[in-house]
Amino acid sequence: MLHSEIYRLAASCDIDPFAPDAVARLAGLIQQHGLSTRIQDASRSPADTLRLILRTVSAAHSDPVPSSQMEFVATLPSGIALGTRPTNIVVQEICRGAARSMLLMGYLIQTPSRIDEYLKSAAARGVAVTLVCDRKDNGWRDVYREWLPGTAKPKVLINPPHSGSDILGKMHCKVLCADAKDLLITSANFTWAGLNSNIEYGIRLSDPESGRQAIEFVQHLHREGLLVEAAV
What is the total count of domains within the chain? 2
What band does 84 get if pLDDT is binned at 50, 70 and 90? confident
Q: Are residues 88 and 196 in the same domain?
A: yes
Q: What is the CA radius of gyration of the chain?
A: 21
Percent of the chain with pLDDT over 90: 53
Q: Which of 60, 92, 108 is the last residue of a domain?
A: 60
Q: Are residues 80 and 131 in the same domain?
A: yes
pLDDT digits (tens, 9 = 90+) for 101-115: 999 999 999 988 899
In a domain? residue 65: no
CB-count burial class (<10 Å; 0-12, 13-18, 19+) for 159? buried
Check the CA dihedral 189-173-86-93 and report its sign.
negative
User: Which residues 6+ apart lie within 8 Å of 149 measured at CB?
Assistant: none
Q: Beta strand 128-133 with 101-106: parallel, antiparallel or unpaired?
A: parallel
pLDDT digits (tens, 9 = 90+) for 174-225: 999 999 999 999 999 999 999 998 999 999 999 899 999 999 999 999 999 9
Its domain, for residue 50, covers 2-60
Task: Return the DSSP state at 186.
Answer: E
Residue 227 and residue 156 in contact, taking contact as beta carbons nearer than 8 Å: no
User: Which pLDDT score is estimated for 200?
Assistant: 95
Q: Are residues 102 and 206 in the same domain?
A: yes
